[in-house]
Structure 1
Amino acid sequence: MSKKTSYLLGILFTIIIGTLLYCYFCDDCHCFPNGEEVVTEDTNNIVEPEVIPATRNAFAISDADGDFNIKINDNFNFKTSNFSIIEPISTGVTAEVVKLKDYLQLNPLKDIDITGYYRNDETNTSAYPNLGLARANTVKNYLISQGIPSKQIDTHGQLNDDINPDNSGTLYGPLKFGIVTFEDGNTDEALATACDAIRKNPLVLYFKTGEAQISLTAEQRQMIADMSRCVDKLGVKIQVVGHTDNTGNADANMKLGQGRADFAKTYLVRNGILNDNVEASSKGQTEPIADNTTEEGRTKNRRTVITIN
């Protein structure tokens, strides 16, 4: 190859390389007629996660059959997967609760209706069928402490995934309130039936005194909720009685049964049953329901029975 030819090939090669580099670095150039443009990733456009604003429900109560109406931009607040009211409760809420108490005292045939909301992604840490009912029950206990009779408070729970917590996991007012008016002499037959069913078939728990928690089935949680309503509406007490097998000393077993009853009572109180509404006692080994000569029988006798009087 001659020197001139080599020189021309070098020029051609330089032109080709320069053209390719120009097309590569030029964003607005159309060097590829078939639309096969070089696409580079834009690392500067970072998609921010969608920010969902927290739901903030007002403390609002109105009576469609009367002249009571309150609404303020405060409420009872809760942490997610929790049913304890976040303290302190605002002075605005406490002031409106006084108005509610005065109104209900003047109208004994009216009830305050509380519906607690809960989200599907929350963990139910209560003894109630759902966190919404547990939250409503906690608010009920606060109203009772402020002088509102338990007979004039109704509680419910409702799934509501439209309530959103803030970044700290706080739910602002996951509740709905209303006023219900009853006719004079109205009786709740469904409640009476539920209370009678508890007396006939009490809640029976089998656990050791040292256990840190009680695991309830869905049916047992409903029984706790029914007991709470029986206490509120009928003025009955919850009776917790501890039982043992006949192993060991009778006096020691009486104390053991009392320990089991006290443990169950503590669990109920921690889950929103007022302390004065729960009575704990022991029968020790005096009331077996199965044969103490077998392990199976002794297991059945080591029980705690929860009912109402």
Structure 2
Amino acid sequence: MTKTTTNLLLMLITIVAGTYFYVTCCSECNAGAVTTEPSTEQVIIKEPEATAYPFAIDGNGFTYNTNDNYNFNLSSQTFLTPLSLELKNGVNSLKEHLGTNENNVINVTGFYTSDEENNTAFPNLGLARANNIKNDLAAKGIPTAQINTFGKIMDEMIAKDGTYLGAASFSLIEKSATADDELKALYEKIKADPLILYFDTAEASISLDATQRQKVADISRYLDKVAGATTSVVGHTDATGQASTNMRLGQDRADFAKNYLMTNGIASDKIIATSKGHSQPIANNTTEEGREKNRRTVITLN
């Protein structure tokens, strides 16, 4: 056998052996391989759990705690009824404590979220909710002079089926040593800058802006705190039309403001609503600008 023939034979043997080795080994590798199918399992996103704040007060010698509280529907200032027996018992206990501790006051803070609508007479929905609770406490015998109301934004609140559970907190504190001075300053502020509502021709209702609603809240706060205090509501018109018609229109405007104040929790017997018709202009009735200024209702403290 020649050298060339020998080399060709060796090459052939090498190719055959390599092919056999590849087929044998790779078949075993493929047999052990695992094919992963695309996952068809659905990812379930859990809804966040609803928040629930208790009716809990602990301080100044008074302690009461129940998981029940005042509940409110989304964008509503009115708490849901009926109230639980535990909550009613807590309010009664609070009433007894405040009756024997006149230097104590209860702070009521209403919660609200930034995505709720405020269609109330108050600067924010939290304050409206606190005021609604205040009215309930007052109806149960707690003097409004011993109730402070506040509003607080709480975007961490999560509703349950459209209802915020316990959208308010409570704290019992000593009456501030400067409380009387603060009320005096509030009185002077309201007298110096009364609430004035302006109306379109022949109209007796408007929508109040945030600044006007804050003035309503200030008046409400003063009347709550000062026994015997009253507010005057005087309706005015421009000189267009007959005097008798304008007297009625001025009264309608005064009554609109009175009803608005009453929705803020102010008792009707603290509101004196009258009309001056067109008898007390503050601007020239011969110009449109002057007539606009005369179509007004002025609300201040007596």
TM-score under structure 1 normalisation?
0.80
Q: Helix, strand or coil for the counterpart of 2:273?
A: strand
2:111 to 108, 114, 117: 117
The answer to whether residue 212 in structure 2 is matched with residue 220 in structure 1 is: yes
Contact 1:76–1:172 (CA<8 Å) still a contact in 2? yes
Name the residue aligned to 1:45.
41
Q: 1:164 is matched with which residue?
A: 158
Number of the residue aligned with 1:149:
143
In the alignment, the residues of structure 2 paired with residue 61 and residue 269 of structure 1 have an alpha-carbon distance, to the nearest angstrom, of 29
Amino acid at match of 1:227: I
Deviations, residues 166-189 of structure 1 (Å, cap 9, x unaligned): 12x101111110111137x75442
Residue from 127, 135, 140 that aligns with 2:129? 135
Task: Check conservation: 2:121, 2:264, Cα contact below 8 A.
Answer: yes
Unaligned runs of 5+ in 1: 1-26, 31-38
2:199 aligned partner, one-letter code: F
Structure 1 CA distance for aligned equivalents of residues 35 and 93 of structure 2: 75
Task: Specify the alignment match of 1:55 in structure 2.
Answer: 51
Aligned alpha-carbon RMSD (Å): 2.3
Is the counterpart of residue 258 in structure 1 residue 251 in structure 2?
yes
Whole-Å Cα distance in 2 between the matches of residues 279 and 263 of structure 1? 12
Tell me whether 1:102 sits opposite 2:102 in the alignment. no
Which one has a bigger Cα radius of gyration?
2
Take 2:58 and 2:297, find their aligned partners in 1: how far apart are those partners? 43
Query: Secondary structure of the residue that 1:158 maps to in structure 2?
Result: strand
Write the letter of the residue equivalent to 1:307.
T
Q: In the alignment, which of 246, 259, 272 is matched to residue 239 of structure 2?
A: 246
Give the SS at the match of 2:148: strand
Cα deviations by residue, 1:266-287 (Å, 9 ceiling, x for unpaired): 2232343333333321111111
The answer to whether the 8 Å contact 1:244/1:257 transfers is yes
> In 2, Cα distance between the equivalents of 1:295 and 1:47?
66
Select which of 169, 181, 188 maps to 1:189: 181
CA distance in 1, matches of 2:165, 2:35: 56
Is the 1:134–1:272 Cα contact (8 Å) retained in structure 2? no
TM-score (norm 2): 0.82
Aligned in 2, Cα 1:212/1:295: closer, same or farther, shift over 3 Å?
Answer: closer
Maintained 8 Å contact 1:255/1:284: yes
The 1:258/1:271 distance shift into structure 2, 3 A limit, reads same
Q: SS at the partner of 1:128? A: coil
Q: Tell me which amino acid in the other structure corresponds to 1:158.
A: K
Structure 2 unaligned runs (5+)?
1-32
Indicate whether 1:295 and 2:288 are aligned.
yes
Matched residues in 2 for 1:70 and 1:99: separation? 8
Structure 1 position 71 matched with structure 2 position 65: yes
Q: Aligned with 2:48: secondary structure?
A: coil
Which runs of structure 1 show a deviation greater than 6 angstroms over 4 or more consecutive aligned residues? Answer: none
Separation in 2, partners of 1:171, 1:29? 50
Q: Specify the alignment match of 1:199 in structure 2.
A: 191
Conservation of the 8 A alpha-carbon contact between 1:114 and 1:178? yes
Which letter does structure 2 place at the counterpart of 1:53?
A: E
Query: Which residue in the other structure is 1:15 paired with?
Result: none
Q: Quick check: 1:178 aligned with 2:171?
A: yes
The answer to whether the 8 A contact 2:68-2:84 is kept is yes
Mean Cα deviation higher: 148-157 or 199-208: 199-208
Q: 1:249 to 1:154 in 2, by over 3 A?
A: same
% same residue: 45
